[in-house]
Each structure stands twice: as C-alpha cells, then as structure tokens.
Structure 1
Amino acid sequence: MATNPKKFFALGRLKTGERNKTESAYEDFLKVLQATGDVLWFRFEGVKLRLADNTFYTPDFAVMRRNGQIELHEVKGFWQDDARVKIKVAADSYPFKFIAVRPKPKKDGGGWQVEEF
C-alpha cells in the first residue's frame, strides 16, 4: 500500500502573525544580528507583494541591513513548487533582494543555508 506524502503536511498555514518553530528560530537569529548592528530593523510578515490579479506573496521577514538595503527573507524547512515559483516571480518583479534560508543540520554545524534570488 502506497503512503500518501500529503498526509504528513500541516493542514494549512498558521494564522497571520504566528510563527512556526523554524521561523521563530530565524527570528532569534535576526535578533542577534540586530544586536551586533548588522540588521537595523526587521518585521515578520511585514510586506505583502502583488504578483498578479488575486495572487500575492508575503515573505516571512522584511529586513533592513546596516547599509539601509531592504531584503525579503523566506524561511523554509523544505520547498514546495508553488512557493519557489512565487519567490522567483517576486524577485523578477520587485527591486528587493530576496533571500531564502533553510536550517542546516546540526551534524553539518547548524546555522542557516542561504539562497539568493
């Protein structure tokens, strides 16, 4: 009997403004960067971008770096195809730096794997 992989997925996104464990861990990382001055400001789900009629993308974090550059950070444990398409469309449509982060396994030293779009 084949196992349905979808049964392992959450039953939907958390309510607006609620963080999952990975997003909470990344927010703690951003707080450290803020304390060192590398990040001046950040906000969870602080920006909503229109990609097309009735199609929007809300990055997990809007981040302002020390030099004033705004970056939009997406935190993923794993990628689903639609999420990857949305961030690519947003990166092609808006003049922000888009960054996706995934936690590195502890056996590989921990931290965050970064992908720029």
Structure 2
Amino acid sequence: MSGNGDLALGRLPAGTMNKTEAAYAVELEARKQAGEIAWYAFEGVKLKLAKLTTYSPDFAVMRSDGLLEMHEVKGFYRDDAKVKVKVAAEKFPFRFLLIRKQAKKRGGGWDIEEVTP
C-alpha cells in the first residue's frame, strides 16, 4: 500500500477518472459529437477559493453556445463537496452543475442539479 493517505480513503490519484467519471465522459463525448458541446476537459480547471483552498471541478465544459460550465460528478455527495461547489458558484461566473449517476432501478441516466450562488 502506498503512503498516500488519499488512496487509503478510496480516492484515485489526480488526473485519473473513477468509473462514474469515465461513464460521464462517454456522455460528454456523445454530446460533443452531436454538436451540443464544443469542448470538455477532465480536471481541466483549478479554481482558487481561498488562500490555501482550491477546487478542481471534475469537468470543465464549453457548450456550443459558448457558455462555460463546471460539472462535478459523483455517485453520492458528501457535505464538503457541496460546500466547495457552492463557494465556487458564489465566486466565479460559470454555471456549476452537480451530476449524479442514477441507479438503474430509477431508470439510469444522470440527475443534474444547478448550483446557484
């Protein structure tokens, strides 16, 4: 086992997608091919929230109309993740979305919640 405490918590190294993020990347690529979005990047943006606090949304997405969105993708949300997204939404002029994978028994797909300042 590595000495990295984050890995002990079940987190993957920065720049590595988990299964939920990888599934969402497939969704984004399909939307890009359909012309709905112009560009997206996994962990492509780092936002400074405070002196020693940064936040990297899972995906930065540019829609075909030019609007920039930050997508945070989770299987479920811990309170600390929601707080960072809320703080970022208050500080930056992007549209922030919380994306949750829905269970197959609920029809699958994605549950999308906009975070407003």
TM-score normalised by L of structure 1 = 0.89
RMSD over aligned Cα atoms: 1.3
For 2:22, the aligned partner's letter is: S
Secondary structure at the aligned position of 2:99 is classed as strand
Shift of 1:73: 0.2
Instruction: Tell me, in whole angstroms, the C-alpha distance in 1 between the residues paired with 2:75 and 2:9.
Output: 16
Which residue of the partner structure matches residue 95 of structure 2? 97
Task: Choose which of 60, 67, 70 in structure 1 pairs with 2:68.
Answer: 70
Task: Choose which of 85, 88, 96 in structure 2 pairs with 1:87.
Answer: 85
For 1:25, the aligned partner's letter is: A
Alignment identity in percent? Answer: 56
Instruction: Tell me, in whole angstroms, the C-alpha distance in 2 between the residues paired with 1:83 and 1:13.
Output: 14
Closer, same or farther: CA 55–12 of 1 in aligned 2, 3 Å: farther
Unpaired runs of 5+ residues, structure 1, are: 1-9
The 5 Å alignment of 1:19-30 reads: 19-30=17-28
The 5 Å alignment of 1:1-117 reads: 11-117=9-115
For 1:87, the aligned partner's letter is: V
Shift of 1:12: 4.7
Shift of 1:13: 2.6
Which residue of the partner structure matches residue 5 of structure 1? none
Secondary structure at the aligned position of 2:39 is classed as strand
Consecutive aligned runs of 4 or more in structure 1 exceeding 3 Å deviation: none
Shift of 1:104: 1.0
